[in-house]
Amino acid sequence: MQEKIIVTGGCGYIGSHTVITLINHNYEVVIFDDLSNSNLKILDRIQKITGIKPHFEQVDLKSSEATHAVFKTHKDSKAVIHFAAHKAVAESIHNPLMYYQNNLFSLINTLKAQQDNSIKHHIFSSSATVYGNPSQMPITEDAPTQRSFSPYGNTKKMAEEILEDFTNSQSDISVISLRYFNPIGAHESGQIGEFPTAIPNNLMPYITQTAAGVLEKLMVFGNDYPTKDGTPIRDYIHVVDLAEAHLKALQRLLGPKSQPLEVFNLGTGNGYSVLEMIKAFEAVSGSLLNYEITDRRPGDVPEMFASTALAKQVLNWEASRSLHDMIQSSWTWEQNLRKGLK
C-alpha cells in the first residue's frame, strides 16, 4: 500500500520539486495550496515528469475551518510536509501582519488538524535565517537562534518555538525542522523551477533575469564585507538536493528511530561570494553579466555556510549536485521561461 503524504505549498518552488521526488519514490501525494504564489499548471508538469498527477486541494490554511475540513478528507495521510508560507523578505518588512498571520496561522491550524486526525508526522520548512548573524562557521544546529532582521525571518524563528512547545507537550506528533541555506537551481527536465511573480529579491533569479535581458543590471549589495573579495558568502544548494533531503527526513519520521523534534541544516557546506557566483554564471552562460557594486543591503550578514555533519550522520543525506549543475539548471529554466514556457 502506498503511503499518503500531504504537501502544503506543493505547487511552489521547493514544494513542487519535493512532490516529484516523493512520487518517484512511490508515495501518494496530495497537495494543499492556496495558489497565492503559484499556479495549477505545475500539476501537468509534475504529471509530464513522473507520469502521475498528484491530487490537489485548493485551501486557505489561514482558515481553521477550511483546514479542519480538508484534513478530515485526507485523515488517512501518514505525514505532512509543510511548505506553505510567504517568503519575500522586503514584503514582510512592509506588511508584517500579513506574514505573521499567514505563516503562523497556517502552521498552527495544520498542527491542530494533524492532532485532531492523528496524522503523526510533520516536516517543517525552516531557514538558516533563524541563526541571524552567527559568530562561528560552519554553522552547527546548536548555534543560538537570533531575532531576525525581517518579519519573514521571525516567522521562521517563532514557528520553530511553536514546534518546540508543541512537541514538548503531550503531543504524539513528531517533527523534523529543516533549515534551508540558499536554494537555487531547477529540475533537470527544464519543466519545473521557480516562477517569478515580481522582481526577485534573491541573487540567482536576479542574475538569470539580468542575463536574459528582463532586468537591466544586477546591483551587487556591498563589497566591503570582511570576506575574501569583500562580497557576502552564502551556501547555495540545488533545489533537487533539498527535495531529496525531505525524502530522507520523511523516511526517518516514518521509521523506528523517530524523535519528537529534530532540526537539521540543509546546505552543501561550501561558501561562495556574490562575485564568485557572477563569475561562475558567466562561465556557464558564456557571456558577461551587467553588474554594478552598490551599497550594502540592510540585514545582510557577511558569511553563512552550513555544517552538514548532522544531516549526513542522522539522515544519511548530503548534497551531491555541483555549483555548475545549480547554475546551469537555473539558466536553462530561465531560458525556457523566456521561450514561452508558462
Which positions ≥6 away from 182 have C-beta within 8 Å? 128, 202, 203, 204, 234, 235, 236, 237, 267, 304
Q: Choose between 105 and 221: whose C-beta lies nearer to ligand UD1.
A: 221
How far is CA 305 from each of CA 87, 174, 242, 269, rounded to the nearest angstrom? 20, 27, 15, 6
Is 204 in contact with 333 (CB distance < 8 Å)?
no
Q: Applying CB under 6 A, does 274 fall inside the site for ligand UD1?
A: yes
Q: Is 59 in the site for ligand UD1 (CB under 6 A)?
A: no
CA 26 to CA 247: how far, in whole Å? 11
Of 3, 188, 276, 300, which one interacts with ligand UD1 (CB under 6 A)? 300
Position 211 contacts ligand UD1 (CB under 6 A): no
248 near ligand UD1 (CB under 6 A): no
Closer to ligand UD1 by Cβ: residue 27 or 331: 331
Beta carbons within 10 angstroms of residue 150's beta carbon: 19
Candidates 81, 89, 261, 326; binder of ligand UD1 (CB under 6 A) is 89
Task: State in Å, rounded, how far the first CA of the chain is from the last one.
Answer: 35
What is the closest distance, in whole angstroms, from the C-beta atom of residue 93 to ligand UD1 in the complex?
A: 9
CB neighbours of 333 closer than 8 A, spacing ≥ 6? 186, 187, 190, 192, 193, 194, 208
182 binds ligand UD1 (CB under 6 A): yes
Distance (Å, rounded) from C-alpha 159 to C-alpha 263? Answer: 12
Instruction: Assign residue 26 a region (left: φ > 0; alpha: ψ between -120 and 50; beta: otherwise).
Output: left
Select which of 152, 180, 236, 272 is catalytic.
Answer: 152
Structure-block grid coordinates of residue 248: 530522507
- In angstroms, give the least distance from the CB of 24 to ligand UD1: 26
**Contact (Cβ atoms closer than 8 angstroms) between residue 185 and residue 321:** yes
Told to check if 202 binds ligand UD1 by CB under 6 A, we report: yes
Specify whether 13 is catalytic.
no
| 279 touches ligand UD1 (CB under 6 A) | no
Taking CB under 6 A as the binding criterion, the range among 31-39, 56-64, 137-145, 212-220 that sits at the site for ligand UD1 is 212-220
Nearest by Cα to 31 from 51, 7, 50, 58: 7
- Which of residues 115, 221, 258, 279 is near ligand UD1 by CB under 6 A? 221
The least distance separating ligand UD1 from the CB of residue 153, rounded to whole angstroms, comes to 5
**Between 38 and 114, whose beta carbon lies closer to ligand UD1?**
38
Residue 238 in contact with ligand UD1, rule: CB under 6 A: no
C-alpha span between 74 and 114 (Å, rounded): 10
Number of residues that bind ligand UD1 (CB under 6 A): 22
Q: Which of 120, 157, 179, 234 binds ligand UD1 (CB under 6 A)?
A: 234
297 binds ligand UD1 (CB under 6 A): yes
Stretch that binds ligand UD1, among 42-50, 96-104, 201-209, 320-328 (CB under 6 A): 201-209
Nearest to 271 by CA among 307, 298, 224: 307
Nearer to ligand UD1, 67 or 106 (CB): 106
Asked if 153 touches ligand UD1 (CB under 6 A), the answer is: yes
- The pair phi, psi for residue 150, each rounded to 5°, is -120, 150
Of 92-151, binders to ligand UD1 (CB under 6 A) are 127, 129, 150
DSSP string, 51-92: S-PPEEEE--TT-HHHHHHHHHHTTT--EEEE------HHHH
In the chain, the amino acid numbered 10 is G
87 binds ligand UD1 (CB under 6 A): yes
Under the binding rule (CB under 6 A), the answer on residue 206 touching ligand UD1 is yes
DSSP state of 180: E
| 242 counts as binding ligand UD1 under rule CB under 6 A | no
Residues in contact with ligand UD1 by the rule CB under 6 A: 87, 89, 127, 129, 150, 152-153, 182, 201-203, 206, 218-221, 232, 234, 274, 297, 299-300
Catalytic residue numbers?
152
